[in-house]
Chain A
Amino acid sequence: MVDLIKRAKELIESSSVKVVIGYEQGTGNKTRALFVENSEDADKLIFDSRCIQNLAAYITKKEIKEKGKMAVAATLPVMRSIIQLASEFQVTDANILVLGITPESKLIEFGNLAEVEKFVHQYEIEIDVRNKEMLDKLEKMTQPERWQFWIDELAPCFKCYACRAACPMCYCSRCTVDFNQPQWIPVPSTELGNLEWHIMRAIHLTGRCIDCDACYNACPLSIPINLLTKRMLLDAKEHFGGYQPALKGEHLMSTYKPDDKENFIQ
């Protein structure tokens, strides 16, 4: 990614942005987020197929926002996240510059978020074959079987909240689980408590999740929690007619439309 390094240097040297968020080589065979604040650091920037962490999770962080305008090396999922965040008033043209990386690994610099939106809309959000098969398998189970599947899958979860930290949509300064007057979702990791936390997370992400799998990738136990959000994505599509993040979006779940199907409450 010579282009990216060059552009990052220019941006930092000209003070157009204060920080460029990208990827660098981590420990082992992993990559990690890099925050470029001086032009020497820009040389550490890399981009390859291992760079799957959703960098949009950083742009709502107070510590990053305080630095000033930022540039983000954004893959398609990251761009989608940025558009969704913009529609939720968390980021504006004034504080972000998107250095898009196309699915063909080409660098495109976008002038504003409207251009990002236009680019993003060329691609439908689609669930990959492997996960689709898994969802179908779950669908075919009886209700008790499915219940047991999730009880078993979620049993080892010890609520490290890595999924929450990795998710760009989990930017709330006070998460529902941190709300303790009253404590609706219990803090200890218990069978039912784990289920409550993950169901709550999936519901809060319905109509907002752009299916980047960051939560699953971050999970130290590789619990397939992304199946929950994927299921919600499909359900939302079925009941409310598809989802594509949009700057002036009518939010899928909060906007009432007369032609919304209401077949789930009959």
Chain B
Amino acid sequence: MSKIGVFVCHCGENISATVDCAKVAETAGNWDGVTFSVDYKYMCSDPGQSLIKNAITEKGLTGVVVASCSPRMHEPTFRKACAEAGLNPFMCEMANLREHCSWVHEKGEATTEKAIDLVRILVEKVKYNHELTSIKVPVTKTALVIGGGIAGIQASLDIANTGHKVILIEKDPSIGGHMSQLSETFPTLDCSQCILTPRMVEVAQHPNITLYTYAELESLEGFIGNFKAKIRKKSKSIDEKLCTGCAQCTTKCPVKKIPSEFNEGLGKRTAIYVPFPQAVPNKPVIDRKNCTYYIKGKCKVCEIVCPTGAIRFDQEDQIVEVEIGAIVIATGFTVKQPDFFPEYGYGKHADVITGLQFERLASASGPTLGEIRRPSDGKVPEKIVFLACAGSRDPAKGIPYCSKICCMYIAKHAMLYQHKVHGGKSYVFYMDIRAGGKQYEEFVRRAIEDDGVNYIRGRVSKIYEKNGKLIVSGVDTLLNAMPVEIEADMVVLATAGVANEGAEELAQKLHISYDPYKFFAEAHPKLKPVETNTAGIFLAGACQAPRDIPESVAMASGAAVKVAGLFSKDELTREPIIAVVNRQAPPVYSSCVGCFLCVSACPYQAIEKEEIKNRNGEVIKSVAKVNPGLCQGCGTCVAFCRTKSIDIQGYTHEQMYTEVMALLNEY
């Protein structure tokens, strides 16, 4: 006979304001199998927990139902309390009276009735609970960092410096990411590459970091502490061991007119190329789509000029399999291109450029060596217009969110322009100036007050070309919506920051969730900003939402600490809430008929075939078997099993059925 204790929590007034807690406890006390029932102001407090512990020891309780908040909040607390009093922690269940009842309903009898129902369900369930023991799994103390931008670099260095191994993969030929493209950084105007490149070199030289550039994640299996990743090392067509980075090949390559990705299309590169002079590793790759040899079958100039014979035309992609314990995703973001904006000419005006292109123009390592010259004819623009919120905060364009970094970089751009083009005029069209951050507001004021940038509050309706000028037609809302027309030489669009192409596929490979804009979703918007909903996978930087450099770095360090925390233990304890395929006495052995549809249904590859053999070693029956190390207890297999041969421990068919019947039956 069950001896169940019901503990109804007031949660201060969170529950008791709308639910009659005393009545819930009193009603529950009259049910079969309930030997103890009480309500208390704060069940999670020390005296509250003592109440539970004392009841377990004094009344000899066999099951506990705590009717309080969400199990996400306090299940560990109450399970621990039960365990301390000698009751198996999995004999403790929680009825969620707060999120599921008191917070969402008005005060009234019906609310109390619902609370009673919720408790009733769990009381009936706990009668069918079984004692369970936690599962222990080992931890592989190597981390995989995906993406070699500033976030990935920071996370890799921080993890490596705690003494753990890191594998850093980057899809481009060099690490550095968007930060390496920037000219100066706000709010201090220090040179972006000058602060970044030492970090890049540190990554390359760190004994704990294995760097794979020009590599992408192929697939991922496993679970926290025990992932298996396949990494596709795309063929660079060179032997990296032999290559010295002498740059003979890149100077001699005859294909010289490929738009450079690093220069955002404003400069040109060769088919065998190093993206930028400070690249890490400073070794070229052959772009097979544009290389004459791969297109026409002859050329091989690079092979002829290479002094070490490092060119390998027949090199194939390589798949590297690695075992890792945790993953940091730092795949960053991208910006919308001008062709997204019909009102600004669908990208057909060469002098309407993106903010990222302006960075390249302003950068000393850029195509103009840091002089602001317009792409069409190389003239120094005398009038320049910056448009904030190009796409951002525009539900009609499907981007209702604020891209966050633009207000600051526009102020920086305008400032750089004023510093470089004396006597030039700059205008900024903005909706609001969002300069929340240390020294950010001061920075924007400096642009307006010291450098004389003209800020116009209003939006631009269209840009068109007239007599070689770009006519920017907008409105000044601070002057009673007066129309404004500026004849500009160049226009810079602060185009919206959006998720990377392929973010969705990556999220599916990693089994993590993402928001409607394909940015990866954090586990909790406030309290778990670097965790994902998949244990052991963490987020850093702009792959989660548009982020500036300081935020990306802070997030990366946060993710690194989470990884280091995970690696601080040799074993992980996992909840035994896993699927089990039943076993019975011979000659049945199991009700499983071995159709193995569960094998294909399992998202974690946790189900395998087990052959039941007789004494002569002949197979009598093939049945499914769940690997407890891999199973995440999602229950997909349970739903698929036609013979009802699979149960989730702690959520068995019997328990589920009992819960439903408790609701349906009168009592």
A90 to B597, CA, bound (A): 12
- Proximity bits, A159-179, B CB within 8 Å = 1, else 0: 000000000000111111001
Please give the number of chain B residues whose Cβ is less than 8 angstroms from any Cβ of chain A in the complex: 24
Q: Given known contacts A89-B622, A258-B505, A258-B508, is B597 in contact with A172 (CB within 8 Å)?
A: no
**Quick check: B600 and A172 within 8 Å, CB to CB?**
no
Contact A254 B654 (CB under 8 A): no
B603 contacts partner chain A, Cβ-Cβ < 8 Å: yes
Min Cβ gap B593→A in Å is 5
Within 8 A of B (CB), among A204-244: 204
Binary interface profile of A, 169-192, with partner B (CB < 8 Å = 1, else 0)?
001111110010110100000000
- Tell me the chain B residues, 589-616 only, with Cβ under 8 Å from chain A: 591, 593-598, 600-601, 603
A253: B residues at CB distance < 8 A: 597, 640
User: Number of residue pairs across A and B with beta carbons under 8 Å?
Assistant: 59
Whether B593 lies near A173 (C-beta < 8 A) is yes
A123 lies within 8 A of chain B by Cβ? no
At the interface, yes or no: B642 with Cβ under 8 Å from chain A? Answer: yes
Cβ of A204 to closest chain B Cβ, rounded Å: 5
- Interface check B268, CB cutoff 8 A: no
C-alpha gap A250/B642 in the complex (Å): 18
Q: Are B597 and A174 in contact (CB under 8 A)?
A: no
Residue of A nearest to B657 (CB): A182
Interface string of A81-115 (1 = CB under 8 A from B): 00000001110000000000000000000000000
- Chain A residue at smallest Cβ distance from B621: A173
Which of A90, A172, A181, A184 touches B643 (beta carbons < 8 Å)? A172
Evaluate contact between A171 and B593: CB separation under 8 angstroms: yes
Q: Give the docked Cα–Cα distance between A183 and B533 (Å).
A: 35
Asked whether A256 is an interface residue with its Cβ less than 8 Å from the other chain, the reply is yes
Contact A179 B643 (CB under 8 A): yes
Docked complex Cα distance between A174 and B642 (Å): 8
Would you call B653 an interface residue if the criterion is a C-beta within 8 Å of the partner chain's C-beta atoms?
Answer: yes
Interface residues on A, range: 20 to 34
A251 contacts partner chain B, Cβ-Cβ < 8 Å? yes
Smallest beta-carbon distance A61→chain B, Å: 13
Chain A: minimal CB distance from B601 (Å): 4
Contact call B595/A174, Cβ cutoff below 8 A: no
Contact A255 B600 (CB under 8 A): yes
B654 and A88 within 8 A (CB): no
Give 1 or 0 for each of B54-97: 1 = CB within 8 Å of chain A CB.
Answer: 00000000000000000000000000000000000000000000
Residues in chain B near residue A88, CB distance under 8 A: 595-597
Q: How far is the CA of A174 from the CA of B597 in the complex (A)?
A: 16
Question: For residue A255, which residues in chain B have a CB less than 8 angstroms away from its CB?
Answer: 600-601
B642 contact set on A, CB distance < 8 A: 172, 175-176, 204
Which B-chain residue is minimally distant from A201 (CB atoms)?
B642
Q: A179-B644, A204-B642, A255-B600 are in contact. Are A172 and B508 (CB under 8 A)?
A: no
CB-based contact B603/A184 at 8 Å:
no
A171 and B658 CA atoms in complex are apart in Å by: 28
Q: Are A174 and B644 in contact (CB under 8 A)?
A: yes
Contact A254 B600 (CB under 8 A): yes
Chain A residues with CB under 8 Å of B661's CB are 182
A contacts, CB < 8 Å to B:
88-90, 171-176, 179, 181-182, 184, 204, 250-251, 253-256, 258
What are 30 A-B contacts defined by CB distance under 8 Å? A88-B595, A88-B597, A89-B594, A89-B595, A90-B595, A173-B588, A173-B591, A174-B591, A174-B593, A174-B643, A174-B644, A175-B643, A179-B591, A179-B643, A182-B653, A182-B657, A182-B658, A182-B661, A184-B657, A204-B642, A250-B600, A251-B600, A251-B601, A253-B640, A254-B597, A254-B598, A254-B600, A255-B601, A256-B603, A258-B505
